[in-house]
Structures are given as C-alpha cells and as structure tokens.
Amino acid sequence: MRAAGRLFLERELASAFRARWFIAYAAIFLVGGMAVATFGLGDAIIYGYRGYAKSLAGLVHLSLFFVPLMALIPAVGAIADERESGALEYLLSQPVSFGEVFWGKWLGTAGAVCLSIAIGLGAASAVAVVRGVPAAVVIALFLFVVLLALAFVALGFLLTASVRSRLKATTIGMILWLFFVALGTLGIMAAFIRWGLPSQVLVAWAFVNPVEAFRIGILSVLDPDLSILGPVGQRIVSSLGVPGTVAVSSGSLIAWAVVPTFIGWAMFNRPDS
C-alpha cells in the first residue's frame, strides 16, 4: 500500500479510537463475554465439553445479533459521511487515487471493528481457557466472529459506495440485517412447511445466509451431540461432518467479505461516483 493509502488507514483507525461506537462496542462485548465466562461456565467443570458448549452458545447468539450491527454502522458511514459533507470531493481532488481512498478506509474500518471485538472477547476468552475451555475452541469462536464482522463491513462498504445518502444506506443495511436474522433456521423452516420447499433449500440457505452460516459453523464446533444446532444444523453436520461444515461455513463468510467489497470498489471507482 502506498503512503497515501496508509494515511487513510491510520486516519480511519484514529477516528475509530476517538469515536464512541468503538468504546461502546468493546465494552458491550467485554461485559457480555465476561458474564458468560464467569457465571455461565460453572457447568463446564462438572459436565465437561457439553457444559461449556451450551454456555458459550449464549456468547455465540450475542455475536450473531450484535456483530453485524457493530460492523455495518461504521462501514456505512465511511464514505457516505464525507460524500454528504463535500469532504470526499476535496479528497479526490488531491494527488490520491480512488483505490487509496477506498482501500485505506476499508482496512481502517475493518481493523477498528476487529480490534473492538478482540478487546471485548479477549478477557472473556482468557477466563474461558482458565476455566477449562480448550484454546482451540476459543480461537475458532474468535475467528468466526471476525469473519462475520468482515462480511458485514463488506456489505456496509457496498452500500456506502453505491448509495449517496447515509440515511438511505443505513436503512437498507438494517433491512438486510433483519432479513438475514428473520430468515434464519426458524424462518426458512416456516417457509418450508408453508410452501413445501424441498429440503435442499434449507441446506443451501443455511450457507447463503451469512448469519446462519456463522451460527451453524461455530455451533458445530461447540456442540458434539448437535443438540443445540436444531434440525437443519443436525442434518448438515450429519451429511458433511464437522470439518466439512466448518469449511463450507467459513467459505461462505469469506465470500461475503470478498464479493461485496469488490462490487463496492467497482461502484466507487465509477467516473460519476
């Protein structure tokens, strides 16, 4: 990355450190994670693997609902705010390229979101390991949370690059988030029952939907007897096995992090952007 790109990256990181959202998100994760690690892992000592799996499921569902929002909101404002204020036009009139602006902002925003997650989950992860949770499981949880965050950073940058109004971009992003959450396992099962959709639709949607891909991927690592995965998750893991489920789920999240980012880059790089 050229010097100008690094300056934009550092600028976004510095802006995030000064922003209230960075502190608030890290604090919420820290409090929620510590609560689970401190009070929810007592059964791990008695019941072993099954005990901490069911306890950490609470942290998984906190991440499932909260991480998309903490990634989406700052990403949506990364370009739209400066476009609305006129600062973007000024920036692009300087000797910098569209790529340096876009990728510097993307890396800065993604880095700030991931750092907020690391601060929030770091203490909880340390406590969980001390209380008997294998380090490999904690690392898997952290990596899945980061992939989920990057997927929604990418979606936010697609919106901020293609929609000129921050309010409109944020509204669309919230609708998409609600759509993904509402049409998780229970939502698609209701559609399956109502319209008689083939069972393959359930499996396909579980991996197309980034929220559901995250849920099934990490819970397949946490739950050896599949009891907390639900019928769709049980079917998938029975067919693919745990390694296959983790691979496909993480592949789906990586695709969500990459494809919308490059579409957003193409939209931002248009002459009329």
Read off the pLDDT of residues 149-208 as tens digits, 9 standing for 90 and up.
999 999 999 998 888 788 888 899 889 888 888 766 555 655 555 666 666 777 777 788
User: What is the per-residue pLDDT for 36?
Assistant: 67
Contact 132, 41 (CB under 8 A): yes
CA within 13 Å, CB half, 24? 10
Distance separating alpha carbons of residues 92 and 72, to the nearest angstrom: 24
CA 39 to chain centre: 25
H helices within the chain, ranges in order?
A: 3-18, 20-39, 42-47, 49-85, 87-92, 98-130, 135-162, 166-182, 185-195, 199-208, 210-222, 230-268
Write 195-203 long-range contacts (CB < 8 A, 24+). 199/235, 202/232, 202/235, 203/232, 203/235, 203/236, 203/239
Percent of the chain with pLDDT over 90: 15
* pLDDT band per the 50, 70, 90 thresholds, residue 4: low
Please name the amino acid found at residue 25: Y
* pLDDT of 94 higher than 80: no
Side chain identity at residue 224, one-letter code: P
87 or 253, higher pLDDT? 253
Mean pLDDT over residues 228-255, rounded? 82
Confidence of residue 119 (pLDDT cuts 50, 70, 90): confident
Find the range with the poorest average confidence among 33-42, 54-63, 147-156, 197-206.
33-42
Question: What mean pLDDT comes out for the span 52-78?
Answer: 80
pLDDT exceeds 50 at position 210: yes
In the predicted structure, residue 137 carries a pLDDT above the cut 70: yes
Q: Please indicate whether residue 230 or residue 71 has the higher confidence score (pLDDT).
A: 71
Give the per-residue SS3 of 192-205. Answer: HHHHCCCHHHHHHH
- pLDDT computed for residue 195 by the predictor: 62
Q: Of 122, 88, 62, whose CA–CA distance to 268 is shortest?
A: 88
Q: Which residue type occupies 74?
A: P
DSSP state of 132: T
pLDDT score for 47: 44
CA-to-CA dists, residue 43 to 47, 58, 218, angstroms: 6, 14, 20
Cβ of 228: how many Cβ atoms within 10 Å? 19
Q: Is the pLDDT of residue 45 over 70?
A: no
Residue 193, CA distances (Å) to 13, 16, 204 in order: 47, 45, 16
Q: What's the confidence (pLDDT) of residue 46?
A: 42
Average pLDDT of the chain to the nearest whole number: 78
pLDDT at 18: 65
Confidence label for 254 from pLDDT (cuts 50, 70 and 90):
very high
